[in-house]
Structure formats: structure tokens, C-alpha cells
């Protein structure tokens, strides 16, 4: 691989879109992916349908993967990791480990697309019983059930009659240091609520929220249909704990519209967990020597007008490695990173590519 190529670390939606863009611009692209498959978190975590169009995640990711696999200028190295990075913009040498042992890759630019991980709802401040009560799930657990068309209570294998979502778990929370909004979870919870109502029309579905944050067109595409067509019930309130009561879950908190305590019984509780930087994002920042923000996401060097440059020239970042992002944000920043990386790789060593 020549130094005119671009190496992309991570083969999720962001990395796939970068590889496609770089290769379509006529520059060789190499994806280095640690997993044994492409498609990122939507595939690894078995997401069902995607917002806003309810297309199967597998089909949508499959389309992105096909575009990369069918381009002769794009190469994919699975089960591989970058362990060191020497050189400068236009002339990097990456050390890699993979199934065939250690190797070196030369490239002109690097794009970090290492993504996110779900917030762990079992952390000490979280009183929702995620690891104690089988019928307490997280968004991604319900995604896997919806994908299988098998939404049942893990405790007894029966379809639930009442499900509630608890919003902002692990986001907008100063106690744990995640003050940011994770951006996707209001839309994803509403989308999952619709899918539950489609698959189990007799099941009552509630969403307990601080305030609903539907970015862009999602309000009209997901929020209003959830209420008007599917009769999902949105309740403004803060949930403080979940307890087992007989074979039900007791959800306790405050109804903030009425300003009074609230206790309701549910069959299943779904925690709308937020997005945190993946372990790979944190590790790559150190290996590549690029700055992270206080949450561990990669720090974009010059926002708001340049969102993909990092603190090291010739190394770019995109997608959920930068911040919580939906697929539209992810693919948009990936396109920008592809364009910047190609310019840098073509300019070669010593050129001012920024
Ligand atoms: C529950 C849930 C549901 C969602 N549903 C939707 C939806 O319906 N619509 C929507 O628009 N958005 C949705 N999102 C957001 C969407 O998942 C993200 O926008 C998208 O996955 C971000 O893509 P990415 O490639 O940046 O990161 P990821 O999807 O996390 O992919 C990162 C990739 O990098 C790889 N990697 C990590 N570290 C390394 C390393 N060191 N070396 C090599 N490879 C590495 C990983 O294995 C992975 O393949 C959802 C999010 C959540 C939490
Ligand atoms: S998107 Fe909604 S649930 Fe997620 S952090 Fe923001 S306000 Fe909370």
C-alpha cells in the first residue's frame, strides 16, 4: 500500500462511508476493523429497524458493505488493530496486528472511525436494577428482541402487557459526568415503541421523559406517529428507581407535570442508555497521539467550521468517535473526513494539507 492511500480505523457506518468516498475519488482505501465483520454497532448489537424509515439495519448496512467490497480500490482487513503510528501527514507508517501477525502499512492520511459503546446502566449511581431484574432491559436488548419478532419478558417468556421506557439513562447526568445529550435515544425509544405496538398491538407502551429531544425531521417522522397512530403514552417525569414487586416491576419517580410522586407497575422496563466513546476510540486516541475531550470522545480541532480535523495533522475523525451521532450525522462527517483525507494523502509529506 503506497503513502497515497488512506487508512480508516473502524468498519462501522462511518468507516464504510469514508472508504467508499476515498475509493470513489480514486484513492486507495484500507479499512482496519477489529471485529470479524463489517457494519459496526448496528450489526454487532443486532439493531432491528432504523430511524427514520424503518429499514432493516442489516439491509442498510449490507448496502454500505457491498459498495466497499465492490470497489477494487477499497481493501478490508478484519480482526486487525493499529498498534503504533509513526511519521507525519502525507507519510505515515502504521504498525498493525492481525490474523497473519504484525505488519506495516504506509499511508498519507488516517481516519479514526472507532465509534461508541452503550452506557453501562449497572454503574453505581444507577438504581434501575439492570443486572438484578431480568425484565429490565436496555435499548439494544429490545432491538435484538424486535429483530427476532420475539418481544417477551425474560423472566417468564410471556409477551408483556405493559412496557415503559426510561429516558436519559447515562446522559444529561452531572453525577456521572455525562452532562451531554446522546441525541439518538429519544428517537430510538419512540421508534422501538412503535415497533412494539406493531408486533404486540395489545401491549401498552409508556415513555417517561425529562423533555423529548427530536432533532430535525424526527419529530414528524417518529414522535407524532408514535402518539397519533400507535398511541404510545408520553409521561413527563423523572424515574429514580425500579424495584421488583411480585412478578411485576415497580417504577418509582416524580410526575413533573403534576409535581407529585409517581409509582407504576410494569412488565418490562427499557432503559434508554446513552452513547459513550468506545474502548477502541479511547485506545486509538492514545496510540495515534490525538486529543480527546473530557468525555473521552476525539476532540475536533477546529469546530464549528472544521469538524473532522484532530490535534494531529493528517489524522481525521468522524462518526460517533467524535460525539453522540445518528446515522445522518455519522455519514455526513464521514464524507467530510474522506474528502479531507484524500487531499492530505495526495499532497504528500510536508505539504500543508489543513
Ligand atoms: C440503541 C441504539 C439504536 C440506534 N438506532 C439508530 C437508528 O435507528 N438510526 C440512526 O440514525 N442511528 C441510530 N443509532 C446511532 C448509530 O448506531 C450510530 O450513529 C452509528 O452506529 C455510528 O457509526 P460509527 O461507525 O461512528 O460507530 P460504530 O457503529 O460504533 O462502529 C465503530 C466500528 O469501529 C470498530 N472499532 C472500534 N475500535 C476499533 C479499533 N481500535 N480498531 C479497529 N476497529 C475498531 C468497531 O468494531 C466498529 O465496527 C442508534 C444508537 C443506539 C445506541
Ligand atoms: S436524546 Fe433524549 S433520552 Fe437521549 S439524552 Fe437526549 S434527551 Fe435524553
DSSP result, 240-277: EEEEEETTEEEEEEEETTTTEEEEEEESEEEEEE-EEE
Split at pLDDT 50, 70, 90, the class of 1 is: low
pTM over 0.85: yes
**Ligand 2 atom closest to residue 187's alpha carbon, by position in its atom list:** 1
> Is the per-residue pLDDT at 329 higher than 50?
yes
The mean pLDDT value of the chain amounts to: 95
pLDDT value of residue 354:
45
- Rounded Cα gap, residues 141 and 48, in angstroms: 10
Q: The cell 409509582 sits on which residue?
A: 263
Q: The cell 477494487 sits on which residue?
A: 72
Contact yes or no for 167/185 (Cβ under 8 A): yes
Strand order across the beta sheet in which 91-98 lies: 81-88, 91-98, 101-107
What's the whole-number mean pLDDT along residues 8-35?
98
Separation of CA 171 and ligand 2 centre (Å): 7
**Ligand 2 atom closest to residue 184's alpha carbon, by position in its atom list:** 1
Dump pLDDT digits (tens) for 44-99. 999 999 999 999 999 999 999 999 999 999 999 999 999 999 999 999 999 999 99
Residue 114 falls in which region: left (phi positive, over 0), alpha (psi -120 to 50) or beta: alpha
Write the secondary structure of 36-77 as one string of H (helix), E (strand) and C (coil): CCCCHHHHHCCCCEECCCCEEHHHHHHHHHHHHHCCCCEEEE
Separation of CA 287 and ligand 1 centre (Å): 20
Probe residue for ligand 1, chosen from 20, 105, 115 as the CB with the greatest number of ligand atoms within 8 Å: 115
Q: Write out residues with Cβ below 6 Å of ligand 2.
A: 167-168, 171-172, 181-183, 185-186, 213, 272, 274
Probe residue for ligand 1, chosen from 17, 46, 171, 184 as the CB with the greatest number of ligand atoms within 8 Å: 184
Dump pLDDT digits (tens) for 277-298. 999 999 999 999 999 999 999 9
pLDDT value of residue 351:
59
CA 122 from centroid of its chain's CA atoms: 19
Dump pLDDT digits (tens) for 187-208. 999 999 999 999 999 999 999 9
Contact yes or no for 78/35 (Cβ under 8 A): yes
- Rounded Cα gap, residues 218 and 228, in angstroms: 15
- Count of C-beta atoms within a 10 Å radius of residue 351: 15
Asked if residue 328 has a cis previous peptide bond (ω within 30° of 0), the answer is no
* C-alpha separations of 165 from 114, 125, 212, 227, 338 in Å: 28, 18, 12, 14, 37
The C-alpha cell at 341 is 483525507
How large is the angle between the packed helices 139-147 and 185-199, nearest 10 degrees? 40
Separation of CA 319 and ligand 2 centre (Å): 18
Cβ-Cβ contacts under 8 Å for 27 (sequence gap 6 or more): 4, 5, 6, 73, 342, 345, 346
Dump pLDDT digits (tens) for 97-149. 999 999 999 999 999 999 999 999 988 677 999 999 999 999 999 999 999 99
Contact yes or no for 27/342 (Cβ under 8 A): yes
- Rounded Cα gap, residues 258 and 295, in angstroms: 34
Q: Facing residues of 86 across strands?
A: 93
- Rounded Cα gap, residues 354 and 71, in angstroms: 27
pLDDT value of residue 142:
98
**DSSP label at residue 320:** G
Separation of CA 45 and ligand 2 centre (Å): 20
pLDDT value of residue 49:
95
Q: Write out residues with Cβ below 6 Å of ligand 1.
A: 9-15, 32-35, 40-42, 47, 50-51, 81, 113-116, 118, 139-140, 143, 184, 188, 191, 275, 278, 280, 283-284, 319-321, 325-328, 330
Amino acid at each position: 500500500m503506497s503513502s497515497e492511500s488512506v487508512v480508516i480505523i473502524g468498519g462501522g457506518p462511518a468507516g464504510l462511508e469514508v472508504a467508499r468516498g476515498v475509493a470513489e475519488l480514486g484513492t486507495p482505501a484500507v479499512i482496519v476493523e477489529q471485529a470479524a465483520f463489517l457494519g459496526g454497532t448496528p450489526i454487532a448489537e443486532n439493531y432491528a429497524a432504523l430511524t427514520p424509515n424503518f429499514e432493516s439495519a442489516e439491509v442498510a448496512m449490507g448496502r454500505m458493505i457491498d459498495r466497499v467490497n465492490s470497489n477494487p480500490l477499497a481493501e478490508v482487513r478484519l480482526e486487525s488493530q493499529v498498534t503504533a503510528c509513526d511519521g507525519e501527514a502525507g507519510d505515515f507508517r502504521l504498525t498493525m496486528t492481525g490474523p497473519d501477525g504484525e505488519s506495516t502499512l504506509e499511508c498519507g492520511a488516517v481516519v479514526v472511525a472507532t465509534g461508541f459503546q452503550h452506557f453501562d446502566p449497572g454503574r453505581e449511581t444507577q438504581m434501575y436494577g439492570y443486572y438484578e431484574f431480568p425484565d429490565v432491559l436496555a435499548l439494544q436488548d429490545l432491538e435484538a428482541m424486535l429483530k427476532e419478532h420475539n418481544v417477551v419478558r425474560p423472566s417468564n417468556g410471556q409477551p408483556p402487557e405493559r412496557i415503559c421506557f426510561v429516558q436519559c439513562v447515562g446522559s444529561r447526568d452531572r453525577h456521572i459526568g455525562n452532562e451531554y445529550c446522546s441525541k439518538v435515544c429519544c428517537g430510538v425509544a419512540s421508534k422501538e415503541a412503535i415497533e412494539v405496538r406493531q408486533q404486540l398491538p395489545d401491549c401498552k407502551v409508556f415513555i417517561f421523559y425529562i423533555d423529548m429531544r427530536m432533532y430535525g425531521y424526527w419529530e414528524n417522522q417518529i414522535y407524532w406517529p408514535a402518539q397519533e397512530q400507535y398511541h404510545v403514552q408520553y409521561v413527563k417525569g423523572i424515574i429514580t428507581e425500579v424495584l421488583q414487586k411480585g412478578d411485576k416491576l415497580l417504577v418509582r419517580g416524580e410526575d413533573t407535570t403534576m409535581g407529585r410522586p409517581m409509582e407504576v407497575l410494569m412488565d418490562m422496563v427499557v432503559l434508554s442508555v446513552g452513547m459513550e466513546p468506545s474502548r477502541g476510540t479511547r485506545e486509538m486516541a492514545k496510540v495515534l497521539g490525538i486529543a480527546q475531550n473530557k468525555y473521552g470522545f476525539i476532540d475536533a480541532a477546529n469546530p464549528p467550521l472544521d469538524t473532522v480535523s484532530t490535534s494531529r495533522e493528517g489524522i481525521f475523525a468522524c462518526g460517533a468517535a467524535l460525539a453522540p451521532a445518528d446515522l445522518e450525522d455519522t455519514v455526513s462527517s464521514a464524507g467530510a473526513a474522506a474528502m479531507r483525507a484524500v487531499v492530505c494523502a495526495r499532497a504528500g509529506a510536508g505539504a500543508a494539507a489543513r
